[in-house]
Every structure is written in structure tokens, then in C-alpha cells.
């Protein structure tokens, strides 16, 4: 089922399947990618309890092997709408027999969407309801119609002044354990030129990229800002150079190492949550 929030400035629609954003409009203009299997069938998935791919689709925990698909299972699960009010929707997913077959932990994942002015916020609250430490990764994967208007080369990504990001180096979508400097144009920008577009297809994962990024143009008035305080990484992805969308993805974990089946206990950048404890993080999308 799809639920909506509206405040006179923006309209947000969220599906109970995966608690996924289906639409974000301002002034009648759609900003969220509407899904197309020729390019990418999804729109704005939520990533839990892993981010990215596992080598050979496997991980181990306490010596036992488990299988899990790219970006975890939350995106494919039916969430319960726990509560709704004028400006917020509260979706929950708890462990069950199906999840425990691939992820042997007790958990509750609460995803809250709130609208305020021209801003839509997504907040994650993860609770460990089991009896042992729970490792997990979490992140967002919103896709935006790109370019919002005109041609791709008329747009750029702008970071906060003073950012000195490093790029996480990949091999076949898996991390290598290496990073490299990623100089920004004019001190704060990524341009959509031919040389850079190929990198978006391979996924650009940045560390140390501040707490917000804006998709802007000097020719058109629209501006999309994603704020991601607390997230360790921000990733950017297109399925092909000419695909008509751009994903801007706050991540709190990384894919597996190339050629290595991870043990979940030692997997890089996982949150380690003690029994009875909870973890909160979130991101915002502002349309100007």
C-alpha cells in the first residue's frame, strides 16, 4: 500500500513494501526516479542489514555460512505502518522466520518519514531485540530523475567548501581496501562531463565528503540537496552513462572485499549493536 504526506509545498508518497519512497513532488514536478526495468526498476530503496554486494552472495557468522542478496532484505519486505500523523509516517519491520534464515538476529527497524517545508526526512532507528551483539549496515538509495531539466552537462554536484574527499577504490563492485584522492572541480564540484560519467556507472563512493551535497545548475532554478550527517560514505550511481536517473546514497557500511567471503563479526564498517541497545541515523532531501 502507498501512503502520502502533503503540506502545500511538497508531496511525498511511500510504499509499505520496503518503506520505499515512490514519489516526491514540488509544484507538480516529480523528482524521484519512477523506476524502469531497462535502467533500474527501483526508486529509493532502504539498505539493511548490509550495504552493497557480498562476495559470491555469502557471509559467515560463527562459522556458519549464510546467503544474502545485494543491499540486504529490507527493500523486499512488507513493513507495517505503525503510526501516521499530519507530517509523518512510521514504518516498522521486525525479525521473523524468513529474516532469521539469512540473518540470525532479533531486531526492529523503524523508518520514519517526515515532511517540513520543502524538506523530506528519512530517519532510521535500529533496535537489537536479541540476546547477542548484532552487526549491521544501513543506508539510503534514493534515485532522482536526471537531469531534472535540460542536458546532463548543464548540472553539477556541489559539496561544502573545504571538503577533501577520498574515493573508495573498487574492483567489479567490491572494495579493494584502497582509497585515492578525489579532487573536486573549483574546490567543491563534480561535473557531469564525459570523463566523470563513466565513474558514476562504476559507482563513486566517497569518504570525508562533508555532510551535504546539492545537485545544481547555473541555467535552471531547481536544486536538490541531500544532507547525510553521521553517515561515513556518500555514493553516486547510474546504471549507464545515458540512464535518466542519478542515485545519491548515504551509506554507513561498504560492500565486501574483492575475492573474500566476509565474516559478519569482522566485516568493515558494520555497526556493532549490543543487546537491548538502539542506533539512530538519517538523511534529508530538500527540493528548492
Q: Supply the mean pLDDT for the chain.
A: 96
Q: Which residue has the cell 513532488?
A: 25
Q: What was the pLDDT predicted at 23? A: 98
Bridge-based pairing state of the strands 262-263 and 58-61: parallel
Domain positions in the chain: 2-287
- What SS3 string covers 223-282? CEEEECCCCCEEEEECCCCCCCEEEEEEECCCCCECCCCEEHHHCCCCEEECCCCEEEEE
CA dist., res. 152 & res. 238, Å (int): 12
CA dist., res. 46 & res. 48, Å (int): 7
pLDDT in tens, 51-110: 999 999 999 999 999 999 999 999 999 999 999 999 999 999 999 999 999 999 999 999
CA dist., res. 198 & res. 196, Å (int): 5
Q: What was the pLDDT predicted at 194? A: 84
Q: Residue 21, SS3?
A: strand
Quickly count: other Cβ atoms within 10 Å of residue 216's Cβ.
Answer: 19
CA dist., res. 94 & res. 255, Å (int): 24
pLDDT in tens, 160-218: 998 999 999 999 999 999 999 999 999 999 999 988 888 999 899 999 999 999 999 99
Domain 2-287's class? mainly beta
Quickly count: other Cβ atoms within 10 Å of residue 194's Cβ.
Answer: 9
Residue 148 has pLDDT above 90, yes or no: yes
Quickly count: other Cβ atoms within 10 Å of residue 261's Cβ.
Answer: 14
Take residue 63 and report the three cell numbers written for it.
562459522
Q: What was the pLDDT predicted at 288? A: 94
CA dist list (Å): 63 to 66, 151, 266: 10, 51, 12
Rounded mean pLDDT, 111-117? 98
Q: If we measure between CA atoms, which residue out of 212, 205, 274, 214 comes closest to residue 234?
A: 205
pLDDT in tens, 223-269: 999 999 999 999 999 999 999 999 999 999 999 999 999 999 999 99
Q: Which residue has the cell 509499505?
A: 16
Q: What was the pLDDT predicted at 170? A: 96
- In our burial notation (b when 16+ CB lie closer than 10 A, e otherwise), range 45-83 reads bbbbbbbbbbbeeebebeeeeeebeebbbbbebebeeee
Amino acid at each position: 500500500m502507498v501512503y502520502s504526506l502533503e503540506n502545500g509545498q511538497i508531496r511525498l508518497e511511500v510504499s509499505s513494501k520496503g518503506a520505499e519512497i515512490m514519489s516526491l513532488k514540488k509544484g507538480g514536478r516529480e523528482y524521484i526516479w519512477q523506476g524502469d526495468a531497462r535502467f533500474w526498476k527501483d526508486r529509493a530503496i532502504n539498505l539493511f542489514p548490509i550495504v552493497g554486494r557480498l562476495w559470491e552472495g555469502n557471509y559467515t557468522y560463527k562459522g556458519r555460512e549464510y546467503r544474502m542478496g545485494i543491499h540486504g532484505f529490507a527493500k523486499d519486505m512488507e513493513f507495517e505502518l505503525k503510526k501516521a500523523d499530519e507530517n509523518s509516517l512510521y514504518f516498522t519491520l521486525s525479525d521473523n522466520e524468513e529474516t532469521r534464515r539469512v540473518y540470525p538476529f532479533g531486531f526492529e527497524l523503524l523508518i520514519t518519514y517526515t515532511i517540513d517545508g520543502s524538506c523530506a526526512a528519512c530517519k532510521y532507528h535500529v533496535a537489537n531485540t536479541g540476546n547477542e551483539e548484532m552487526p549491521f549496515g544501513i543506508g539510503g538509495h534514493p534515485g532522482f530523475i536526471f537531469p531534472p531539466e535540460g542536458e546532463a552537462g548543464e548540472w553539477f554536484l556541489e559539496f561544502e567548501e573545504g571538503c577533501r574527499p577520498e574515493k573508495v577504490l573498487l574492483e567489479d563492485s567490491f572494495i579493494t581496501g584502497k582509497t585515492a584522492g578525489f579532487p573536486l572541480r573549483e574546490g567543491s564540484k563534480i561535473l557531469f562531463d564525459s570523463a566523470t560519467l563513466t565513474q558514476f556507472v562504476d559507482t563513486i563512493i566517497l569518504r570525508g565528503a562533508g555532510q551535504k551535497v546539492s545537485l545544481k545548475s547555473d541555467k535552471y532554478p531547481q536544486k536538490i540537496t541531500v544532507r547525510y550527517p553521521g553517515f561515513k560514505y556518500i555514493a553516486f550511481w547510474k546504471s549507464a552513462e545515458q540512464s535518466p536517473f542519478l542515485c545519491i546514497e548515504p551509506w554507513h557500511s561498504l560492500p565486501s572485499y574483492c575475492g573474500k567471503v566476509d565474516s559478519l563479526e569482522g566485516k568493515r564498517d558494520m555497526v556493532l549493536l549490543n543487546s537491548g541497545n538502539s542506533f539512530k541515523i538519517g538523511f534529508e532531501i530538500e527540493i528548492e
